[in-house]
Structure 1
């Protein structure tokens, strides 16, 4: 078998066999296939696609390229939730402790943010002392004792994805639905989860720009899950505007904490209840969405969800006393953007808010950039709020001096309407 023949086969739009896909993955990981040949095959896949079976074979080969975490000693269903990334997306910080408080077991590996999308790990690392790198034993022991842990990705898991993703990033092959699906699914399955909720963000602030692409990706990941005997559900959610009122790191942690106390923004709370109920039903903990939402409501109202959050943060060495101190979020500089006219606010672009937050220091333009945990944006007003001239619309925060021209970047992507408009937060649920 030769890699050049496999490349030619896919160039000719033919279906690859499991043996051919295994040959490619095994030899590329072991450095027997050079980057230029791997790039040629990835471009052929990008242009000519893969069917569901090919994509399943690719996912399986990537999954088996490294270790797979074994949770059988717990004799429990392991649940996980993955988001394709967006602006103000702090869902994991609130959802995971809610599920853990309802006796689901969450063993999650997350990534960092890049450009306009915030990373869960960056938000957690803004908590003083929080440890994202744990040994296998530490990870398993915390999950066993507390039902929850979120850690950085283990280098031993899915090495094929690490190599292929780095290559896709520089060869124009990122926007390929089979390659996106196999990347997400191989990583999620390597963590040993049985039930996985995939939150596919859709809109200008997400990688999936339209609903048809998002549904295609969602259906493909469900098909892969079924072929590999895993329970998969997909929610396609709105990323045309930021989620919640906070964009940044510390500021998003605080919003997640408020939500766990029952005081979160309406849109963010709605997503938490939607995603939580989907996972509770997927794991057979609830028989209906109504029952699941009542369960979530109860652990928020009785304080168990917030208590579990603090327990989890402390288990991973975070300083909860400092976290609960009102001076924990204490940026040196702030700048308020005021409304120049009155009307119902409409935010037209999530990505522009994410880029401004990045420029303030809350995100990275390059992987090696340093995060300013105090930086970010607070949306004093969100879409469909009525605004009077002179009201504060948004507050910018940073440890460095704030460039006043950032106001223009934000003002260019908002409008004021005479009437409110309809906003769908969850476009579709697939299972």
Structure 2
């Protein structure tokens, strides 16, 4: 088998066999295939695409390129959740304790973030004493005892994906649906979940900017999961404005606490109930999504959801009293209010630029080795459709360094548009994709 022949086969629109795909992935992982040949292959895939079967085989091969996590010692159906990423995406911090509180086992591996804010790991490290370094034994024990554990990803999970993504990033082949879908799903497969719920973001602050592209990606990932024997559902949700109000690590932890106590932002609460309902049904803890949503609402109202959060924090060495005293979270030295300069209705918020502003304040990483300031970020005061008057706060900036403030304020002025006439609030959830097909709501 020669890589030259496989590149030519895909270039000409041919369909690769499972052994051929395994040859490519294994060869690139062990270094026997050079970057220039893999670059040619990814460009051929970019233009020619892959069938659902090819994409599933690519996913399986990448998942098997390193360590895989065995969750068989954990009781029940393990359901993982993955978001394709956005601004203010606090869902994991809410969902994990919420669904665990009704008996859905959550055994989650997460990573550090590169971009607008830290990843889930960084956010949790805002909590005094919280540790994400769990042994495999402790990880399994925590899930079996309290229904929930979260640990950092090891460097050996899906190494083929890490290597291939770095190559795609510098060869203009990131924007390929089969390569995106296999990248996401290879890590989920290696993480050992029985079922997967995907939150596919769409819009300005998302990787997929258009609704049609987002549904294509969602369908591709559901097909991969189905082909590989995992129950998989994808929800396509809005990212034309930040989700919730907070963008920043400790700020998002506080918002997650508020949401589990029943007074979080409406959109974050709604999306978590939607995703949580599908997780609950896949775990066979409810017969249908509406029943599941009501059970989840009841857990919030009764205090059971926030009690599970406290239990989770304590089990991983954190100070659970932070839930009742969020002022224990890292606090910025000062706040600056960004105000409206006109009357009207918010018609547009550039989610991506808001995320950039938070990163410039120190909430995210500009490079892999950048330090994160866990205290800083932005808390929106208005969302699309809200009425404002001149002088009303649009956002509150939490900062420790004034040096970048002028640039951030300048970007914020470009991030908001105000209409003189009323503007409808945008949809939050655009549809759901299952193995049976696509249900679009808009």
SS of the counterpart of 1:336? strand
TM-superposed CA distance for 1:327, in Å, is: 4.4
> 1:353 is matched with which residue?
354
Q: Output the CA distance in 2 between the equivalents of 1:24 and 1:328.
A: 47
Higher mean C-alpha displacement, 69-78 vs 268-277? 69-78
For 2:438, the equivalent position in structure 1 comes to: none
Deviations 1:229-274 (A, max 9, x none): 1100000000000000100000000000000000001111111111
User: Which residue does the alignment assign to 1:332?
Assistant: 333
Aligned to 2:372: 371
The question of 1:424 aligning with 2:427 is answered: yes
How many angstroms apart in 2 are the aligned matches of 1:253 and 1:75? 28
1:409 aligns with: 411
Runs of at least 5 residues in structure 2 that lack an aligned partner in the other structure: 435-442
- Alignment pair present for 1:279 and 2:282: no
| More displaced stretch, 202-211 vs 165-174 | 165-174
Question: 2:77 aligns to what?
Answer: 77
Shift of 1:27: 1.6
Q: Which runs of 5+ in 1 are unaligned?
A: none
Match of 2:394 in 1: 393
Higher mean alpha-carbon deviation, 402-411 vs 370-379, is at 402-411
SS in 1 for 2:293: helix
Deviations 1:366-423 (CA, angstroms, capped at 9, x unpaired): 1111001111001122222221211111111112125133222112121222213141
Tell me the residue number matched to 1:97.
97
Residue 205 of structure 2 is aligned to residue 202 of structure 1: no
Contact 1:362 1:371 in 2 (8 A): yes
Q: Cα distance, 1:331 vs. partner?
A: 0.7
Farther off after superposition, 364-373 or 309-318: 309-318
For the pair 1:344 / 2:381, whether they are aligned, the reply is no
Q: Deviations over 1:303-361 (max 9, x none)?
A: 11101111111212222235643243421122111111122223331000000000000
Greater shift, 356-365 or 164-173, is seen at: 164-173
State the 1:210 CA deviation.
0.7
CA distance in 1, matches of 2:247, 2:182: 29
What TM-score, normalized by structure 1, do the two folds share? 0.97
Which structure 2 residues correspond to residues 119-198 of structure 1 after superposition, within 5 A? 119-198=119-198
Counterpart contact for 2:128–2:329, Cα < 8 Å: no
How many pairs does the alignment contain?
Answer: 431
1:60 equivalent to 2:60? Answer yes
* CA positional deviation for 1:215: 0.8
CA–CA distance in 2 between the matches of 1:44 and 1:317? 49
Displacement of 1:111: 2.1
Q: TM-score, normalised by structure 2?
A: 0.94
More deviation, 54-63/126-135: 126-135
Of residues 394-403 and 230-239 in structure 1, the stretch that sits farther from structure 2 once superposed is 394-403
Separation of aligned partners in 2, 1:328 and 1:154: 27
1:383 aligns with 2:381: no
Offset, 1:128: 2.2
The answer to whether the Cα contact below 8 Å between 1:333 and 1:397 also exists between their aligned partners in 2 is yes
> Partner residue of 2:260?
260
Question: Within 2, Cα distance between the matches of 1:148 and 1:16?
Answer: 40
Alpha-carbon offset, residue 166 of structure 1:
1.7
